[in-house]
Amino acid sequence: MAVGEAIPPTASRAALLVLADGRFPAGGHAHSGGAEAAVKAGRVRDAGTLEAFCRGRLHTAGLTAAGLAAAAAAGLDPLALDEAADARTPSPALRAAARRLGRQLTRAVRATWPSPELDALAAARPRGAHQPIVLGLAARAAGLTPLDAAYAAVYESVSGPATAVVRLLGLDPFDATGVLARLAPELDAVAARAADAARGGLDALPAGAAPLLDIMAEVHAAWPVRLFAT
Amino acid sequence: MHLDHPDAYPHRHTYSAAHPLRGDGSRRALRIGLGGPVGSGKTATVAALCRELRDRVSIAVVTNDIYTREDAEFLLRNAVLPPERITAVETGACPHTAIRDDISANLEAVEDLEEAVGPLDLILVESGGDNLTATFSKGLVDAQIFVIDVAGGDDIPRKGGPGVTTADLLVVNKTDLAPYVGADLEGMARDAKAQRGDLPVAFTSLAAEGGVGPVADWVRAQLAAWTAGPR
Amino acid sequence: MTTAPARPGLAPGIRAAARIVAAPDGRGGTALPVLDGAGPFALRRLRAYGPEARVALVGAMSAPLGGDRLTLTAEVEDGAALRFSTTAATIALPGRTGAPATYDTRIRVGDGATLHWLPEPLISARGSDLRSTTRVELAPTARLVLREEQILGRAGEPPGRLSARLTVHRDGRPLFDQELCYGPGVPGWDGGAVLGGHRAVGQLLVVDPAFEDAPVAPRALGATAVLAPLAGPAAVVSAVAPDGLRLRKALESGDLLADGAMWAI
């Protein structure tokens, strides 16, 4: 198949593994998804509190990101989705991080699944579009479905904090991975809900919010010394 | 020391650290990475290089701190460059990931600097202090310097590791401390030669006046070779 | 805090609507050509203050109960100014059937118009299930101050289930859109990402075209409250707190309107 030629929609489910891999070089490793601030505040201390943190993040920010990603993968207007993402992100630190990560992901996706749609978005948002929207367009370019895009988003919403807490607390990596495995049925449910919502168009997209994530993101951004960008 | 590398950047057709030419056909800034263990003097080397070269060369620096902005703030405090020429990249407790496995944030930083204060001749990318295995991706830098010091143990060159073995320049810093820590400089030079073959090694004492000289000379040679490269 | 009178016969599943229309009175003030309320909604006109009309909602009976469907509509026409408050906290209570209650607020603010929407908190009582939506449509030069506070459970009791979505559009485009869900059956709501044991949560949202030229800088207001600019001419104070009193204090600590004395809270 020639470079740039459209890939049939059922081309490769395995592309989802590439996209959702924590080693996909799109900058995620520098972000804790709010876990660093939660650890410092004593709200995440062990595997149990990590699980509660991840569950809350999954059903709020994770659901919202998955809805945006699924909608972008379904072909909704990325610029309208970018506005919808801004409205769903009251924290300026998190808006900046989402755009920075979107730009980093754009770079990686241009090397993996080049797409004129993504090029157009990058031209319209040179400082970066919100990451979930880029993720949705990446899935679309890779021949994946909106549900696949939602899966990548929900997995990312919990794998980032889990990995970060292993580094921050010295938490047993087996325990952290156990948390992710226990959340798997909920990842299924949230991804399905997000993909369903995306079928309803812009107004039906979830807007789940987590007050502590939003508040603590600003507090964290003001720390003079920290390990993670968010 | 081999300071003449007219063929340092031969006709490579697969430049991974971005195409060497800018949109207007001029050559983009040369990107040099500085890595090495914590405390070996990477930031001090960057500061000294900036002071030595800044009058003739347009420089910017990207730091990759373990803790956000520590190194960037050292450079700012010491006023080696105007603040708009220094950018800190956050590394999520994994400085080697940011310079090797996932270089996206560093590439953003490099390009943002070119855009904001360019055209630049040289961008120094300093890694956060890491271990002996941390090296830069060829997708990020054109050449790399590995900085160790005599106080870290004179057996480091013998032990090797990717940084010591493959860096384009190995800097052995703090030679002034050798008598106090019982380091054998000649042995270090011999071990380095065995590990590195013809690749150059510079022994420095940044504490001394002009101590960064050998590194600055090497950088100048790299710049000359880069500028003379194909268009 | 007072409680509304018990509902006669506890009839479940009422439908009730209230509507407020504010319009310039032609003499520099604001008239209230429509002030309609029924069932649990009793709207009272308060003494006007300068150009601003003032309306208080007086809870005339316990609501919302499970199964109730309540709708509140406010329209502030071009150039008018309205201040809305409630005389007591709204308490979501369980109904007899276990069905959820809905409470939908629809607000429109015209060009050059100002709305202060400052109800007392919503309290989610044990066993209740309330789905609330608030949708605000702002004209490009409209100004808005909106406070939303939720208290999870009366003193010493666990909360009911509550979902509250607040959507603000300005000039037809999304400016703010957040859905908060808490209580039994909502996964992860009390973990370290969402409430972390706090029982009061709220936000004070201010939209003013003046922020276009002078946006606020983000600022922490204590350990669990922040002032932040939105991606538009607006700012929000968000806070979680152990209780309603401390929440209110946190929301007011942003001094968001200190220099906007003409239309301060």
Q: Tell me the mean pLDDT in the region A132-161.
A: 97
With an 8 Å Cβ cutoff, the interface of chain B facing chain A consists of: 66-70, 89-94, 97-98, 101-105, 107-108
Contact A227 B70 (CB under 8 A): no
Residue located via tokens 């990475």: B33
Please name the amino acid found at residue C149: E
Q: What confidence tens digit (pLDDT) does each residue in A173-194 have?
A: 999 999 999 999 999 999 999 9
* pLDDT, chain C, mean: 91
Confidence band, pLDDT 50/70/90 cuts, at residue C39: confident
Q: What confidence tens digit (pLDDT) does each residue in B16-42 have?
A: 567 888 777 788 999 999 999 988 999
Q: How far apart are CA A75 and CA A192, in angstroms?
A: 17
Q: Which of C219, C232, C238 sits opposite A211 (nearest CB)?
A: C238
Interface of A with B in 54-73 (CB under 8 A): none
* Contact list, A83 vs chain C (CB under 8 Å): 173-174
Establish if A79 touches chain C: CB-CB under 8 angstroms: no
Strands C200-207 and C143-152: antiparallel
Q: Is A7 domain-assigned?
A: no
CA of B91: which chain A residue's CA is closest?
A30
**Listed range (A145-149, A197-201, C258-262) with the worst mean pLDDT:** C258-262
Torsion of CA B46, B50, B56, B60, to 10 degrees: 80
Contact A90 C178 (CB under 8 A): yes
Confidence band, pLDDT 50/70/90 cuts, at residue C60: low
Neighbours of A173 (CB within 10 A): 13
**Listed range (B83-87, B91-95, B221-225) with the worst mean pLDDT:** B91-95
Neighbours of A6 (CB within 10 A): 11
CA of C231: which chain A residue's CA is closest?
A86
Q: Tell me the mean pLDDT in the region C114-129.
A: 96
* Contact list, A122 vs chain B (CB under 8 Å): none
C216 CA to chain A: closest CA distance, Å? 11
Q: What confidence tens digit (pLDDT) does each residue in A74-129 have?
A: 999 999 999 999 999 999 999 999 999 999 999 999 999 999 999 999 999 999 99
Structure tokens given for A191: 């991804």
Contact A56 C189 (CB under 8 A): yes
Q: Is A226 domain-assigned?
A: no
Contact B103 A25 (CB under 8 A): yes
Determine the straight-line distance between the first and last CA of chain A, rounded to whole angstroms. 40
Percent of chain B with pLDDT over 90: 62
CA of A167: which chain B residue's CA is closest?
B93
Confidence band, pLDDT 50/70/90 cuts, at residue A11: low
Confidence band, pLDDT 50/70/90 cuts, at residue A224: confident
Structure tokens given for C108: 């429109």
* pLDDT, chain A, mean: 94
Q: What confidence tens digit (pLDDT) does each residue in A35-87 have?
A: 999 999 999 999 999 999 999 999 999 999 999 999 999 999 999 999 999 99
Establish if A192 touches chain C: CB-CB under 8 angstroms: no
More confident: C251 or B65? C251
Inform me whether the pLDDT recorded for C116 exceeds 90.
yes
Contact B92 A164 (CB under 8 A): yes
**Listed range (B9-13, C98-102, C199-203) with the worst mean pLDDT:** B9-13
Q: Which of C167, C236, C240 sits opposite A212 (nearest CB)?
A: C240
How many Cα atoms within 13 Å fall on the side-chain side of residue A97? Answer: 23
Inform me whether the pLDDT recorded for A25 exceeds 50.
yes
Q: Which CATH number is A44's domain given?
A: 1.10.4190.10
Q: What confidence tens digit (pLDDT) does each residue in C210-258 have?
A: 999 999 999 999 899 999 999 999 999 999 999 999 999 999 988 775 4
Strand-pair partners of B126: B34, B63
Q: Do chains B and C touch (3 or more CB pairs under 8 A)?
A: no
Confidence band, pLDDT 50/70/90 cuts, at residue C7: low
Structure tokens given for B84: 């708009």
**Listed range (B126-130, C25-29, C250-254) with the worst mean pLDDT:** B126-130
CA-wise closest residue to C16 among C88, C83, C104, C96: C104
Q: Supply the range of the domain harboring residue A56.
A: 14-221
Res B38: pLDDT = 87
Q: Which domains does chain B have, with CATH numbers?
A: 30-227 (3.40.50.300)
Q: Is A132 domain-assigned?
A: yes
Confidence band, pLDDT 50/70/90 cuts, at residue B1: very low
Q: Is A4 domain-assigned?
A: no
Res C12: pLDDT = 63
Inform me whether the pLDDT recorded for B124 exceeds 70.
yes
CA of A35: which chain B residue's CA is closest?
B92
Contact A228, A31 (CB under 8 A): yes
Establish if A91 touches chain C: CB-CB under 8 angstroms: yes
Q: How far apart are CA C261 and CA C265, in angstroms?
A: 8
Q: Tell me the mean pLDDT in the region C106-133.
A: 97
Q: Is A8 domain-assigned?
A: no
Q: Tell me the mean pLDDT in the region B200-225.
A: 94
Can the peptide bond before residue C242 be classed as cis, meaning omega within 30 degrees of 0? no
Q: Tell me the mean pLDDT in the region C110-119.
A: 97
Contact A45, A228 (CB under 8 A): no
Res B79: pLDDT = 81
Q: Which of A29, A103, A104 sits opposite B97 (nearest CB)?
A: A29
Q: Tell me the mean pLDDT in the region C192-202.
A: 97
Q: Which of A30, A103, A105 sits opposite B91 (nearest CB)?
A: A30
B61 CA to chain A: closest CA distance, Å? 19
User: In Å, what is the CA distance from A100 to each residue of A96, A128, A177, C81?
Assistant: 6, 6, 27, 40
Q: Is A82 domain-assigned?
A: yes
* Contact list, C193 vs chain A (CB under 8 Å): 34, 38, 52-54, 56-57, 60-61, 210, 212-213
Res C264: pLDDT = 44
Q: Which of C165, C180, C218 sits opposite A92 (nearest CB)?
A: C218
Confidence band, pLDDT 50/70/90 cuts, at residue C263: very low
More confident: A136 or B118? A136
Number of structural domains found in chain A: 1
Strand-pair partners of C85: C56, C118
Res A180: pLDDT = 97
